[in-house]
């Protein structure tokens, strides 16, 4: 008789959270299976884009600053000195009023966390970065050692390393577990795939991003808000290096709800709207940006970056945020199945934190101990009131 294979943990979702969870569990000697319906960092995933900001600033929110610092260390250790680089130290420039309270508080947190930064007044920014039209902002804070992670390629590297540590991977869609069929049991023995396979494990971690609300509609459907987010890449003038990473940092303008990156790897000058878009289905939403959005963002770019007036849009992308009610992560047990865990709620800022999410989940599964109350399911509301930026 063939012996039934049982894993210590099955991780459902091979985006940045799931891949790092699998890697951290495997490093601690666990037998891990990693599943994804479409493939690691696939084109529909929030982890599937070309580039993601890694910045330390979170206003007064020291929890996420400390996590970002520790995550960047792990990202760098993972990448080593490989080529092409998967982390670009572009610096990250926050633009706001010099007297903007959140920036003042943020610099205090950055100081406590030993994050290198410079406070720049308007004159200094205009002299150093004349590419900007600073109408509105009067100063800023430059995180000098922050920058950009090369999204999907970075996740692929995490998945590769997980496999090197013994993680098994397969492309398969997990069927939502039905707690009502457990006949009083407090845990799952197995989950099924859409191909009919039974996956047996001691623990199940659902790290499936914008799909969490679809997999657990009764519990998470009202608490996970997937929103459509459009991203644009503008072609820089030929022979012009003023928008290269050597000349321009990654930037964020909170008042505009926009952020962007220099012309990384000659793919174009990236601009994205951080405001939450319309609710979206990650399986079926259109991945084509609207003509209205192109026109609106082109007007914005022409205003903020006069040298890019009439610049062509050379590439676009549509992905999604997977928001919780306030932007805090969701990392908690299923309320009825004690060996089923949720790990999600990236809320548009989660990619950078993949290493620490993986470390935290592994500690919760293997060591127990105090959980972070902000990540609890009980704290996730059904109305969006964004508080984490």
Question: Is there a single domain that holds both residue 158 and residue 297?
Answer: no
Whether 1 shows a pLDDT value over 70: the answer reads no
* Within-domain flag for 55: no
Are residue 268 and residue 389 in the same domain, yes or no?
no
In a domain, 255, yes or no: yes
Last residue of a domain, one of 286, 319, 352: 319
Structural domain boundaries, residue 40: 1-50+150-224+324-389
Q: What is the pLDDT of residues 202-249, one digit of tens each?
A: 999 999 999 999 999 999 999 999 999 999 999 999 999 999 999 999
Q: Which residue has the higher pLDDT, 142 or 101?
A: 142
Q: What does pLDDT average to over the chain?
A: 94
Asked if the structure places residue 56 within a domain, the reply is no
Indicate if 73 and 178 belong to the same structural domain. Answer: no
Residues 125-145 have a mean pLDDT of 96
Is 120 within a domain?
A: yes
What do you get for the CA distance between the two ends of the chain, in Å?
A: 55
Domain assignment of residue 46, yes or no? yes
Question: Can you give the CATH number for the domain in which 338 is found?
Answer: 3.50.50.60
> Is residue 234 located within the same domain as residue 315?
yes
CATH (domain of 247): 3.30.9.10
Q: What is the mean pLDDT of residues 150-161?
A: 98
Statement to judge: residues 39 and 161 lie in one domain? yes
Same domain, 83 and 1: no
| Contact indicator for 174, 35 with CB cutoff of 8 Å | yes
The pLDDT value given to residue 219: 96
**176 and 315 share one domain:** no
Residues 137 and 236 occupy one common structural domain: yes
* Residue 2 pLDDT greater than 50, yes or no: no
Residue 354 lies in a domain: yes
Domain termination site, one of 278, 295, 319: 319
53-74 burial code (b ≥16 CB/10 A, e <16) = bbbbbbbebbebbbbbbebbeb
Phi, psi of 150, deg, nearest 5: -85, 95
What total number of domains does the chain contain?
Answer: 2
Same domain, 37 and 9: yes
Residues 389, 241, single domain; the answer is no
Per-residue pLDDT reduced to its tens digit, 86-126? 999 999 999 997 666 778 899 999 999 999 999 999 999 99
Q: Is residue 268 part of a domain?
A: yes
Q: What is the pLDDT of residues 31-80, one digit of tens each?
A: 999 999 999 999 999 999 999 999 999 999 999 999 999 999 999 999 99
One domain for residues 238 and 305: yes
> Is the model's pLDDT at 181 over the cut of 60?
no
For residue 58, tell me if it sits in a domain: no
Tell me which of 293, 319, 345 is where a domain ends. Answer: 319
Residue whose C-alpha is closest to residue 147's, from 285, 294, 254, 246: 246
Q: Check whether residue 76 and residue 117 sit in a common domain.
A: yes
């Amino acid at each position: 008789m063939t012996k039934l294979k049982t894993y210590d943990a099955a991780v459902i979702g091979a985006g940045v959270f799931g891949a790092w969870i699998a890697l951290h569990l495997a490093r601690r000697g666990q037998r891990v299976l990693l599943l994804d319906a479409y493939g690691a960092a696939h084109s529909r995933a929030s982890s599937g884009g070309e580039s993601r900001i890694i910045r330390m600033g979170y206003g007064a929110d020291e929890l996420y600053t400390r996590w970002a610092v520790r995550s960047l260390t792990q990202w760098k250790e993972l990448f080593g000195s490989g080529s092409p680089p998967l982390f670009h130290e572009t610096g990250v420039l926050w633009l706001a009023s010099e007297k903007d309270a959140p920036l003042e508080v943020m610099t205090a947190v950055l100081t406590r966390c030993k994050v290198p930064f410079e406070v720049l007044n308007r004159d200094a920014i205009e002299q150093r970065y004349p590419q900007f039209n600073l109408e509105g902002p009067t100063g800023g804070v430059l995180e000098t050692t922050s920058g950009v992670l090369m999204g999907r390629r970075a996740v692929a590297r995490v998945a590769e390393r997980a496999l090197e540590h013994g993680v098994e991977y397969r492309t398969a869609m997990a069927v939502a577990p039905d707690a009502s069929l457990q006949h009083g049991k407090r845990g799952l023995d197995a989950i099924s795939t859409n191909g009919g396979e039974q996956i047996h494990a001691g623990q199940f971690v659902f790290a499936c991003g914008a799909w969490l609300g679809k997999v657990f509609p009764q519990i998470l459907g009202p608490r996970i808000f997937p929103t459509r987010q459009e991203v644009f890449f503008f072609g820089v003038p030929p022979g012009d290096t003023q928008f290269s990473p050597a000349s321009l940092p990654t930037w964020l303008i909170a008042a505009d709800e926009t952020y962007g990156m220099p012309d990384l790897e000659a793919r174009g000058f990236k601009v994205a709207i951080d405001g939450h878009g319309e609710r979206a289905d990650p399986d079926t939403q259109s991945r084509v940006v609207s003509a209205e959005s192109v026109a609106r963002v082109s007007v914005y770019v022409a205003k903020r970056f006069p040298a890019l007036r009439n610049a062509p849009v050379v590439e676009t992308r549509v992905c999604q945020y997977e928001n919780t009610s306030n932007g805090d992560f969701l990392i908690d047990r299923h309320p009825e199945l004690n060996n089923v865990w949720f790990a999600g709620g990236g809320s548009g800022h989660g990619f950078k934190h993949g290493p620490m999410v993986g470390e935290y989940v592994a500690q919760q599964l293997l060591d127990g101990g105090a959980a972070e109350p902000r990540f609890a399911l009980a704290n996730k509301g059904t109305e969006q009131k964004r508080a984490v930026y």
